[in-house]
Structure 1
Amino acid sequence: MAEVDVVVVGAGIVGAACAEALSAAGVRVLVLDRGAPASGTTAAGEGNILVSDKGPGAELDLAIASRAEWLAVLDRLPRQVADVEWEPKGGLVVATGEPGPLEDFAAAQRAAGVDARVLKPAEAFELEPLLTPSVTVAVHYPDDAQLQPVLAATALLAAVRARGGVVLGGVTVQSVLRSAGGRVSGVSTSAGDFACRAVVNACGPWAGAFSVLAGGPVEILPRRGMILVTAPLPECVRHKVYDADYVGAVGSGDADLQTSTVVESTRAGTVLIGSSRERIGFDDSVRVRVLRELARKAVGLFPFLGEVPVMRAYGGFRPYAPDHLPVIGADPRVDGLWHATGHEGAGIGLAASTGRLLTELFLGLAPHVDPLPFRVDRPTLLGVS
């Protein structure tokens, strides 16, 4: 039986970030994924690294730390894979109604350490000339950034390999093995058995099912999102731009369809249009009404988009936790089982600090953010009232 220190199950952006941070600290890592690496939720993401969409609290603290940590992670990647289309373009949140709620939200964020600059409509048009003239107020977030998520996850996994780690796609974990004392001792997979002293559940929206298989069930559910992609255009949208409703949709636990306008360009010239959220299990059927709603709202924010052809649409499942907080840390019920999941649509942005925090906890180092809010045994996660 081949032996490593840690088996990371899931080769998306969060699993890749955990594996990269562990391997950078000298831990022997094996990454397994039942599909191709970075082909699940990560491939269906926009690549957002945001501080603008989170109110004061534990997730915002993690987001601020992770924005800084991403720079450190990118700096230590092998030179040949370091181009992940990093763009510190900044974000712009706009309101077309009463400005009060958006200004109050920005004030609370500033008190928590976020650079949030309230703008008058004329100042917003200087940043984004093609915005709707209906804008009443905007907030500029210079620290919002973007990268290409598949490139980023692939680069992280390349760094793992460069340090002697192993990454295997197309391998399904069938069971988590335990010693006579109940501690994790390995995994049994479709490619054979691998001995280890810890397993990290980084299975994204499938983390709930894997947690049951591993003996430490946590309540993680899939929440689906859809994105429209336009044909390539000359430069037209300079920042990540979204309406003030986006923050409410992110924090909502409603299972019904919710949409809010999110518009941003990519390095290739296409414009990404989102966003939608709905809890419909793993139903991946395309719903035309969702796409129509995204298009309608996007045209309301940027009227010129009404004349732009849509090239394609895609969707993915995001790992939703009932209290909207990631799960990062050891499972107290199963010695050697760790979780890194539940980030929903913020996994790209939070991945860097998630990997660092899990590594710090695994090695007994002082954590760079408070780990307590993300603990596995919190009542909201285990369904305890």
Structure 2
Amino acid sequence: MHRSATPDVVVVGAGMVGAACAEALSAAGVRVLVIDRDGPAAGTTASGEGNVLVSDKEPGPELDLAVASRAEWDVVRGRLPEQVADIEWEAKGGVVVATGDPEPLTAFAAKQQEAGVAAQVITPAEVFDLEPLITRRVTIGVHYPDDAQVQPVLAATALLAAVRERGGEVRSGVTALGVRQSRGRVVGVDTSDGDIACGAVLNACGPWAGAFGAAAGAPIEVLPRRGMILVTAPLPESVRHKVYDADYVGAVGSGDAELQTSTVVESTGAGTVLIGSSRERIGFDEAVRVRVLRELARKAVGLFPFLGDVPVMRAYGGFRPYAPDHLPVIGADPRVVGLWHATGHEGAGIGLAPSTGRLITELFLGLTPHVDPSPFRVDRPAVIAS
């Protein structure tokens, strides 16, 4: 797309979700322009672990989207330009363990099995075969072969490279200020770089989606939830899967504003070990809280005792976008014709991005959706205040 050409859609936000939506739209022949006030993957995407999980979701709409998106990841990776195709994709599988009463975890796995998820309950001995360095306090485990990991910054920038290869455009350092309307529908977006004419605008601003929605005349209830991650020094192979304790599932679905931590431990291709996770509703406060890091470290050592002797190289964190009902917001805004939203994925945006992009594309083009879009609609009570 030449700079003088009018895009069909301006995507506001060059993180994983915005990039996936732009990639899916461009693959379907839609002319796309992506703008971001910073640059590709500079916000929430850069502060995550790269989780592609089906193991942490209760049966329901988000799990349905996660299962579809896990399959869609394979499709999307096949569309990436060869020179950027290495996004450190690891189909390593996940192992969830309990160190106390095994019944809640086995019951959760049974519900997921009924929903079609590959979830194999395994004995402690089988857990130790998969993860030799894990604590011997494990009472039960569940193996999820479909869990995977990706390097999120590489993935988002590769998706945007695919957009460019198809004639789309990506502009960094451009802040979206609002939308222009004519006769009740979007005809452009106002930016710090001037007005951009377009047929539609997609709000993929992550934790800042509520603010952009308000600026566009269509406020939505999407709020920031902060998470922190520790990174160890590089190690020989030590953690083979994505491993987390059974408390993680409860923390994912909780709406509690107070600090919650649960143990997630995994290795990267570089040999470092990532340790999470925390969830805390503190607005956009960026202060590093030592008590959060200490709690993450303490719980990680409880799961993998060898980590007590491993130095932590750095810590990082960021804000994840959540809606009060813990479901993503995907679809057209009924109040402003031509305004669309793709946000609210909280900590699952990396995993859910491909199906989110596909769903936005299907709805935009009037195609049959591959998953039921109604649970994610913009005009639900939790998202649009009455």
TM-score by length of 2: 0.99
Quote the sequence identity (%).
80
> Aligned match of 1:8 in 6, 11, 19?
11
| Conserved? CA contact 2:92–2:147, under 8 Å | yes
Secondary structure of 2:359's aligned partner: helix
Unaligned runs of 5+ in 2: none
The aligned runs of 1:188-199 (5 Å cut-off) are: 188-199=190-201
Is 2:156 the counterpart of 1:153?
Answer: yes
Partner deviation per Cα, 1:183-226 (whole Å, 9 max, x = no partner): 00001111121111100000000000000001111100000000
Cα distance between partner residues in 2 of 1:192 and 1:20? 24
Q: What is the aligned partner in structure 2 of residue 365 from structure 1?
A: 367
Cα distance between partner residues in 1 of 2:96 and 2:254? 18
Partner letter of residue 124 of structure 1?
V
TM-score by length of 1: 0.99
CA separation of 1:383 and 1:188: change in aligned 2, threshold 3 A: closer
Q: What is the aligned partner in structure 2 of residue 356 from structure 1?
A: 358
Is 2:61 the counterpart of 1:58?
Answer: yes
> Aligned match of 1:124 in 106, 114, 127?
127
Secondary structure of 2:383's aligned partner: helix
Q: CA RMSD in A?
A: 0.7
Partner letter of residue 66 of structure 2?
A
| Superposed structure 1 runs of 4+ greater than 3 Å apart | none
Partner letter of residue 49 of structure 2?
E
| Conserved? CA contact 2:207–2:224, under 8 Å | yes
Secondary structure of 2:229's aligned partner: strand
Cα distance between partner residues in 1 of 2:317 and 2:5? 37
Q: What is the aligned partner in structure 2 of residue 223 from structure 1?
A: 225
| Conserved? CA contact 2:177–2:212, under 8 Å | no
| Conserved? CA contact 1:228–1:313, under 8 Å | yes
Partner letter of residue 23 of structure 1?
S
- Kindly state the Cα deviation for residue 49 of structure 1 after the two structures are TM-superposed: 0.2
Partner deviation per Cα, 1:79-103 (whole Å, 9 max, x = no partner): 1111000000000000000000000
Is 2:245 the counterpart of 1:248?
Answer: no
Q: What is the aligned partner in structure 2 of residue 111 from structure 1?
A: 114
- Kindly state the Cα deviation for residue 320 of structure 1 after the two structures are TM-superposed: 1.0
Cα distance between partner residues in 1 of 2:145 and 2:380? 34
Aligned residue pairs, count: 383
- Kindly state the Cα deviation for residue 2 of structure 1 after the two structures are TM-superposed: 5.3
Q: What is the aligned partner in structure 2 of residue 260 from structure 1?
A: 262
Cα distance between partner residues in 1 of 2:205 and 2:344? 9
| Conserved? CA contact 2:178–2:190, under 8 Å | yes
Cα distance between partner residues in 2 of 1:383 and 1:5? 29
The aligned runs of 1:1-385 (5 Å cut-off) are: 3-179=6-182, 181-384=183-386
Partner letter of residue 376 of structure 2?
F
| Conserved? CA contact 1:228–1:310, under 8 Å | yes
| Conserved? CA contact 2:178–2:212, under 8 Å | no
Partner deviation per Cα, 1:58-115 (whole Å, 9 max, x = no partner): 0000000000000000001111111000000000000000000000000000000000
Partner letter of residue 132 of structure 2?
P
Secondary structure of 1:42's aligned partner: helix
- Kindly state the Cα deviation for residue 381 of structure 1 after the two structures are TM-superposed: 1.4
